[in-house]
Structure 1
């Protein structure tokens, strides 16, 4: 028989605040904390926090309405929060002390934290509130736009329809976005799941089509095709079927550049150049490589696990020339390299620093480098605050004194893309608790930076992209896409700082 003191909610340590608050609202609908504007504000504040942070925030609010917040601990990394009237505190504690069944729970009262000593902080200039998601276009179903299916304002989306996959090309260069069925005028029976968008502009779209589906992905084979309106034509040498390459490929003008990591008979990365009628291997090296277009028909090949890089020119004799060594190793951050013009690129790397509150904790910090690959001239800036900010309990045992510290660390993925004018968008994605950077807007001439975080747009983590045809920044979520305010309004609301490269 169920007791009024039995736990109704059972979560693990990975449950975010949005899920926890939703469960508490469902099982305790009559408690005022979980209703009205106050609850909406709680969701904004706690949606991406870990359970213990949520409990600390809820305890004083519940106490103010005459309730205790307890956790029933079974010795694992999970939680069973229970809310009971404060006048039943002793009865609740005695009930669980007298328990006979298994598993055995230890009832712990989550007491409101002591009020922090008042600190005098400099007053921040008040700025008017802005509606960040100004115009919202909702999708009919979940629509995932990511770095591998989005090109220059177009995205290719697949959708299952009974036994077949459909493929739609969504045009974000107009508002609201428009979509086109990529199978509508095809008569070759191709499945939408076999189509990959690799480039698009106003005149044509370039696709990779899977023509052989093997037992393993390594057995799959692909061919290229170009689409203009409803006309589809083959691209590349006749009859050649290609293995799966590393994503993403690079398209410069009418040429495709692909990378393939090869492990037998020796480890190397091979780079292909594929034109409408021919193909050739133009470079290979023992380490993983990233390809970056650097203007005037040039490419930069960059080593992942070391400092080496080479320039290559589309004009004959197509030689790869050793450039100056890069100033920092970056591994996966190589993919976030950006070409700034002339012979200058923007690189990123990771550094380490000690947490200011606890000597046993280190933080990862993102570092940006401006680097001239011809002269070797280098400057760097530490991107303090780019990443995640979360609260961490440092105790190893519950019997130890509680010490909660704030960790500010880069622990995720970085994407870099062109913005308007001299501006760039640095986007951050991470599966961590706490407050997170959504995007920094950086001006390569003035080094001015505007910072957008989950405090500005709570509960969701949209990817921010600039669409030149609209001259607007869009926020992409699975259920919708929205226009952000005009950039001048964003700067007026958020203010800006300056990055110091030295």
Structure 2
């Protein structure tokens, strides 16, 4: 028979605070800390925090209402929180004192508790800013994932499973609300939606990579290309040619497709393909991984991932790859794809650096650097992006018998995705799975070096990607369940203010 002291919730140490609070609300619906405004404030504060941070905040709130928060420790990386009235503290401890499986641990509140007979303090108000960040919201019928691999110039291709078949829809975000088009509706070839990949789109047409052969391994798959204008579909590329799988994303410039093929036998090699309506050829090879960046005047820049080398290649004859000046950010690797062409011969690069935590020198923080680099002259300046990343609160104790010591690590741990904003502005999205508060996006002006900073303290409980839609002249927040218009840029700038980055 279940005891009133048995744990109702069992969670892993990696559960985010929002999910933990939802479970506790479900199993303890009669405790007012899980109802109404107090619960909304807790969600705002703790939705992305680690469990131990949530437990401490909960212990404080519960103590004011006459409850204890306990954890039944089984010696693993999990938690079994139990909430009991404070006047049953001794009974709870006696119930578990002779149990071998669990060790009860009371989570002590760390703020003064209201004395008996005095009214408790008023529930904390949500800290949402006065500006309504999600101004117009368009809800999706189901989870819709938009990323740099399936989004092109305001259009995105998404797949959805329907029984044993996959559907494919092209979503046009250039209009509001967005409109969907079924990509299989007028096809008669029995194509599965999972075999279509969007690689480019504009108001006139969309360009797709279509899988025509599925092998036992991904390396055995083969693809062709097609152009779609309205309901008319035409093959693209030389007839009867099938291509292997390429790295994502590809680059399309002036109707020409540039793909990266990574091979490992007999030696590691990256091949860059140029595919046009009539021809297909390998135009460059290098042992390291490469990123392709269009840099204007019908030029492409090929950048080495694990080193400083880069080459310019012209779409005009004789199509030669010419070594450019070596890049300054030699440790780019996964950040090498986070590049942008700023005009002239200048590009934007990112790299990482390390520093000791000011709160505890035993811990190190990763910081992000932005570089402005001229590929012809080699001139380079850099700016430390202090604060671009995550703020993770961490208990540094190695043993539970040690004094509790929580520090805040301000560190970059994830990826940067760069896209055009309005005018001279660029959007730097931060993609991360870390706990704690974190950057959502910085909007940076390449002329003035002004930066508008959006964080999870502004738009709470979600981690949207921010993109600018020129057709609407608005910034949109993309989430799996919805897409929303953000306030006008001037309104965001007035509400948040801006800072100036120092490039030197």
Report the TM-score, using the length of structure 1 for normalisation. 0.96
- Which residue matches 1:403? 405
- The answer to whether the 8 Å contact 2:425/2:444 transfers is yes
Pairing of 1:311-460 with structure 2 (within 5 A): 311-329=312-330, 330-460=332-462
Q: Residue 302 of structure 1: SS of its match in structure 2?
A: strand
- Which residue matches 2:234? 233
Q: Residue 336 of structure 2: SS of its match in structure 1?
A: helix
**1:186: Cα distance to partner?**
1.2
Partners in 1 of 2:469 and 2:395 — Cα distance? 42
Partners in 2 of 1:393 and 1:282 — Cα distance? 53
**1:96: Cα distance to partner?**
1.0
Partners in 1 of 2:216 and 2:289 — Cα distance? 26
Partners in 1 of 2:271 and 2:220 — Cα distance? 18
- The answer to whether the 8 Å contact 2:60/2:111 transfers is no
- Which residue matches 1:118? none
- Which residue matches 1:256? 257
**1:165: Cα distance to partner?**
1.3
Per-residue CA shift, 1:265-314, capped at 9, x if unaligned? 22111111111000111111111100000001000000000000000111
- Which residue matches 1:65? 65
Q: How many residues align?
A: 489
- Which residue matches 2:15? 15
Q: Residue 83 of structure 2: SS of its match in structure 1?
A: strand
**1:128: Cα distance to partner?**
6.8
| Cα RMSD for the two superposed structures | 1.2
- Which residue matches 1:203? 204
Pairing of 1:15-164 with structure 2 (within 5 A): 15-99=15-99, 104-114=101-111, 129-164=130-165
Pairing of 1:446-485 with structure 2 (within 5 A): 446-485=448-487
Could you say if the C-alpha distance between residues 30 and 493 of structure 1 is closer, same or farther in structure 2, counting changes exceeding 3 Å?
same
- The answer to whether the 8 Å contact 2:346/2:374 transfers is yes
Q: Residue 288 of structure 2: SS of its match in structure 1?
A: coil
- The answer to whether the 8 Å contact 1:16/1:47 transfers is yes
Pairing of 1:211-230 with structure 2 (within 5 A): 211-230=212-231
Q: Give runs of ≥4 in structure 1 deviating > 4 Å.
A: none
Q: Residue 25 of structure 2: SS of its match in structure 1?
A: helix
- The answer to whether the 8 Å contact 1:150/1:156 transfers is yes
Per-residue CA shift, 1:393-430, capped at 9, x if unaligned? 11111112221110010001110000010000000111
Q: Residue 233 of structure 2: SS of its match in structure 1?
A: strand
- Which residue matches 1:119? none
- Which residue matches 2:121? none
- The answer to whether the 8 Å contact 2:300/2:312 transfers is yes
Report the TM-score, using the length of structure 2 for normalisation. 0.96
Q: Residue 277 of structure 2: SS of its match in structure 1?
A: coil
- The answer to whether the 8 Å contact 2:346/2:373 transfers is yes
**1:351: Cα distance to partner?**
0.3
**1:192: Cα distance to partner?**
1.0
**1:98: Cα distance to partner?**
3.1
**1:114: Cα distance to partner?**
4.7
**1:163: Cα distance to partner?**
2.2
Q: Residue 19 of structure 1: SS of its match in structure 2?
A: helix
Partners in 2 of 1:380 and 1:129 — Cα distance? 35
Per-residue CA shift, 1:65-119, capped at 9, x if unaligned? 11111111111111111111111111111111133xx5x211111111156xxxx
Could you say if the C-alpha distance between residues 396 and 152 of structure 1 is closer, same or farther in structure 2, counting changes exceeding 3 Å?
same
Per-residue CA shift, 1:113-139, capped at 9, x if unaligned? 156xxxxxxxxxx99711111000011
Q: Residue 492 of structure 1: SS of its match in structure 2?
A: helix
Per-residue CA shift, 1:350-397, capped at 9, x if unaligned? 000000011110000000000001001110001011111010111111
Partners in 2 of 1:333 and 1:128 — Cα distance? 32
Per-residue CA shift, 1:208-239, capped at 9, x if unaligned? 00001111111100000111111111111111
89-98 vs 364-373, greater mean Cα deviation: 89-98
Partners in 2 of 1:174 and 1:447 — Cα distance? 30
Partners in 1 of 2:22 and 2:182 — Cα distance? 38
Q: Residue 337 of structure 2: SS of its match in structure 1?
A: helix
- The answer to whether the 8 Å contact 1:369/1:380 transfers is yes
Partners in 2 of 1:293 and 1:467 — Cα distance? 20
Mark the runs of 5 or more structure 1 residues left unpaired by the alignment: 116-125
- The answer to whether the 8 Å contact 1:8/1:27 transfers is yes
Partners in 1 of 2:48 and 2:237 — Cα distance? 47
- Which residue matches 1:165? 166
